[in-house]
Amino acid sequence: MELPDFMSYKDKFTKAGFVEKIQKIAKRSGAKLVYAALVLYYTLESDRVSMKDKAIIIGALGYLISPMDVIPDAIPIAGLADDIAVLIYVLRKVWGQVSDEVKAKSKAKLKQWFDEEELLAADKLFDDDPTQDPV
């Protein structure tokens, strides 16, 4: 894999542009992470999910709140990458067992914390790159 010539982008950098882009990425990946966590949390209440899968969900949610991460949460943006990767991995595993009610309950809670633009990230839950703008 050949890396691009990063110096060709130097004229595109502005402080304002950087801050704006970082805010978009943080909000969108933040909404995605929170939605994934809420779906897993509410799925724990379901009798449709096996005890084995509930144990995996508890492990993923425990990883999310643990201060001991592979990438420390104090590192902006990157610090949440491992958390969202774990949540999405587990969510993919149990997604077939997630009820529409759980999805709706999670979205309703998400709407209390995020604006409409940020909520678009939750609709792209299984996209591989949370930094991309939703289409």
Q: Is 3 inside any structural domain?
A: no
Whole-number pLDDT of residue 8 = 64
Q: Is 131 inside any structural domain?
A: no
Q: Is 49 inside any structural domain?
A: yes
Whole-number pLDDT of residue 52 = 92
Residue range(s) defining the domain that contains residue 36: 17-123
Q: Is 128 inside any structural domain?
A: no
Most confident of 33-47, 74-88, 121-135: 33-47
Q: Is 2 inside any structural domain?
A: no
Number of domains comprising the chain: 1
Q: Is 37 inside any structural domain?
A: yes
What distance in Å separates the CA atoms of residue 65 and residue 67, rounded to the nearest whole number? Answer: 6
pLDDT in tens, 31-70: 888 899 999 999 988 888 999 999 999 999 888 887 676 6
Query: Do the beta carbons of residue 5 and residue 93 sit within 8 Å?
Result: no
Whole-number pLDDT of residue 77 = 64
**Please, is 20 exposed, middle or buried when counting C-beta atoms within 10 Å of its C-beta (0-12, 13-18, 19+)?**
exposed
